[in-house]
Amino acid sequence: MAHKSNYVPQSAFEKWLDERLPVVRLMKDQFIDFPTPRNLNYWWTFGGILIFCLIAQMMTGIVLAMHYVANESMAFESIEHIMRNVNWGWLIRYTHAVGASMFFAAAYLHMFRGLYYGSYKAPREILWILGVVILLLMIATSFMGYSLPWGQMSFWAVTVITNLFSSFDSVIPGLGTRIVQWVWGGFSVGNPTLNRLFSLHYLLPFMIAGVVILHIWALHVPGNNNPTGIDVKRSSEAMPFHPYYTIKDGFALAVFAIVFAAFVFYAPNYLGHSDNYIPADPLVTPTHIVPEWYFLPFYAILRAIPSKLFGVIAMFGAIMVLFVVPWLDSSPIRSLRYRPMLKLFFWAFVVTCVALGYLGAMPPDGIYLLSARLGTFYYFAFFLVVLPVVGRIETPTQMPGSITEDIMSKERRRRAALEGGAPAGAPAAPEKR
């Protein structure tokens, strides 16, 4: 939403700077005065929370890297050194490890919000696509980070995932094996592998930060979507970002930080796997190799397909399909508030994702395997069949004409409830005080 700048330089220096590099103007226009729809709910606070997570991961990560040793014979010990000897090392490490989980939890909620309110639809397609790019980078970064302690789970997760490339052997014999050995930097997972994983784990967050800047830029061109999915039509339907949303985002961040801290201080290893406290041993394969919780749905999809190659394709396809969501959904209506049929399919999709997460941690046989196959089927059917078809056949519910109308009708209902339903002697409604 292009809005007129009302920045007036206050001092001679500000004026001088503004004529050369209008960075103060940019910040004021985009993060203080930025017109934001007045009806955003708490699901819109996760973007700010994600920025916090990214900064927290980078800051703790940089300190960890000062003490970590990326060498296969010292990596595990260096983590123990951080935990036991480095001042506050335990806190920095646990914040970083738990932080990865919190980051993914926030990202998934942020994405489900986008799906529910149709934030991926025109004119926000690029914004959504940049989000999917961020997700891919986050996946790569956390996978590499998990390998660094060089415990049993680290080592075997790297072994399993890098070996996926060998599935290309069934396309061109020998190609997959060559790729795997190139990725390893040798004939097995070893020191060169650990070194490159560390190097890339340090690099990728900076790339994420770059894409996040583009993501926010792409957000600030059309402005925020909102729970009605209806565009802002007059200036009274928006308010300046500061102080209204800085305070709301700040409050949500404080609540998020309490949950974060509860994990860090009371259950720092709850989300991890105990086998990662056993040093990596290439001669002993753990009974169950399981990824971190945030990869489990994708892992379930990988194992649901009997062919290795098609399993790999399905797993990557599960993310790739997100890129084309803006063009799969055939309805012009954004918010699921007014799409009763798709709303049901959406909640079934959420349940499927959670179920796939559970199934990813279970052995891939019997009822678990069958359920994972059904879940995989629905995951893809939701995007490839439900989104295109439902938009054509469903009858949307009555939509308000504008954000104002929506707010006013809610207000009328609230007043009617207060006037009609309030018991005698109850405190007066605020407007009557």
Handedness of CA 273, 275, 281, 286 (dihedral sign): negative
Least distance in angstroms from the C-beta of 334 to ligand HEM = 9
CB-CB neighbours of 14 under 10 Å: 14
Contacts of 256 (CB under 8 A, 6+ apart): 49, 52, 102, 106
Contact indicator for 304, 311 with CB cutoff of 8 Å = yes
Taking only Cα atoms into account, the Rg of the chain, rounded to an integer number of angstroms, comes to 25
By C-beta, is 124 or 273 nearer to ligand HEM? 124
**Residue showing tokens 């179920």:** 355
Handedness of CA 204, 209, 212, 213 (dihedral sign): negative
By C-beta, is 96 or 110 nearer to ligand HEM? 110
Least distance in angstroms from the C-beta of 298 to ligand HEM = 14
CB-CB neighbours of 214 under 10 Å: 14
203 exposed, middle or buried (CB, 10 Å; 0-12, 13-18, 19+)?
A: exposed
**Residues within the interface to ligand HEM (CB under 6 A):** 44, 46-48, 50-51, 54, 107, 110-111, 114, 117, 119-120, 124, 127-128, 131-132, 134-135, 208, 212, 215-216, 219, 224-225, 322
Q: What one-letter code names the amino acid at 307?
A: S
Contacts of 301 (CB under 8 A, 6+ apart): 311, 314, 315, 318, 356, 372, 375, 376, 379
By C-beta, is 186 or 210 nearer to ligand HEM? 210
**Residue showing tokens 């729809």:** 37
CA distance 189 to 154: 11
CA distance 194 to 148: 7
CA distance 242 to 36: 9
By C-beta, is 54 or 280 nearer to ligand HEM? 54
Least distance in angstroms from the C-beta of 139 to ligand HEM = 10
Least distance in angstroms from the C-beta of 384 to ligand HEM = 17
Contact indicator for 45, 252 with CB cutoff of 8 Å = yes
Least distance in angstroms from the C-beta of 381 to ligand HEM = 20
Least distance in angstroms from the C-beta of 361 to ligand HEM = 23
By C-beta, is 128 or 155 nearer to ligand HEM? 128
- How, if at all, do strands 238-240 and 35-37 pair? antiparallel
By C-beta, is 142 or 193 nearer to ligand HEM? 142
Q: What one-letter code names the amino acid at 40?
A: L
By C-beta, is 99 or 114 nearer to ligand HEM? 114
By C-beta, is 107 or 189 nearer to ligand HEM? 107
